[in-house]
Amino acid sequence: MEKPVNQKAWLLVLPMLVIVSFSAIIPLMTVVNYSVQDTFGDNVFFWAGLSWFEQMLEDERMWGALWRQLAFSATILAIQVPLGILVAKSMPRKGPWVSVCLVLMALPLLIPWNVVGTIWQIFGRQDIGLLGYTLNALGIDYNYTSNVVHAWVTVIVMDVWHWTSLVALLAYAGLVSIPAAYYQAARIDQASNWAVFRYIELPKMRGVLTIAILLRFMDSFKIYTEPFVVTGGGPGSATTFLSIDLVKMALGQFDLGPAAAFSIMYFLVILLISWVFYTVMINLDKEEARG
């Protein structure tokens, strides 16, 4: 006879569900409501159907922001993932320096986003910033406020400085979980360093690296505070990513209907990518279980 399942544990989750309902579901319903309605003011709304979605799909500004967003996310992933793995492999596995390295690596992650933007805004200034003043003293006409390439490089380097530690810490967690017997067998077989990384370390890090890529892609895809503080989306619209464009549309122009449709499409893209990463992670876990 099967033992009856006790479902009372759901009562422990109930407060969290209530909080999530107020902080996420209700605002989402409000956004959906705005996305299918229009108004002439005085809180008088009328049905607009999918017209706002059609308008946004034909909006060249939104597509431009999307391509800039994808280019930014792809660039920082191409830099941060290999760099994070390299840093993780360079960190000690035993001894007193382990704690020191872990604390130092965690420090950039503790800095608020707006503070990071302010730091790099000052750091890159030509008059008082160490980076800007040094580069100009070396004969490099560096100005992130007027040069598109300089603005992009500044935003990318800023994000790499801020978030590579996360990838490094996750990769380090995967490395320290590898049993010593694997390395002993590799030494007996006289395997090269590349062979050890390719056939031992990288497969064992696949799970944590997938999580790292998911977290960094999601965070970079919705980045707002740092580039807004440093460049304000400029010069021109060179660093106007989706989030910045959305805020300008909703708060700057007060176009609530298009902004609501924009935000729902934004949300669906992130949800789709999250689902893809989740599916990949589940398949990796199944492969490891079979292996």
Give yes or no for residue 43 having a pLDDT over 80: no
Q: How far apart are CA 140 and CA 239, in angstroms?
A: 21
pLDDT tens digits for range 214-230? 889 888 988 999 999 99
Query: Band of the pLDDT at 41, cuts 50, 70, 90?
Result: low
Give yes or no for residue 146 having a pLDDT over 60: yes
pTM reported for the whole predicted model:
0.85
**Letter for the amino acid at 10?**
W
Q: Where are the beta strands (DSSP E) in 156-261?
A: none
* Count of Cβ atoms closer than 10 Å to residue 233 Cβ: 22
pLDDT tens digits for range 113-127? 889 999 999 999 888
Q: How far apart are CA 285 and CA 206, in angstroms?
A: 10
Give yes or no for residue 70 having a pLDDT over 80: yes
Cα-Cα-Cα-Cα dihedral of 100, 103, 106, 111, to 10°?
-130
Q: How far apart are CA 209 and CA 101, in angstroms?
A: 20
pLDDT tens digits for range 224-264? 999 999 998 889 889 999 889 888 888 887 788 888 999 99
List of domains in the chain: 12-49 (no CATH), 60-290 (1.10.3720.10)
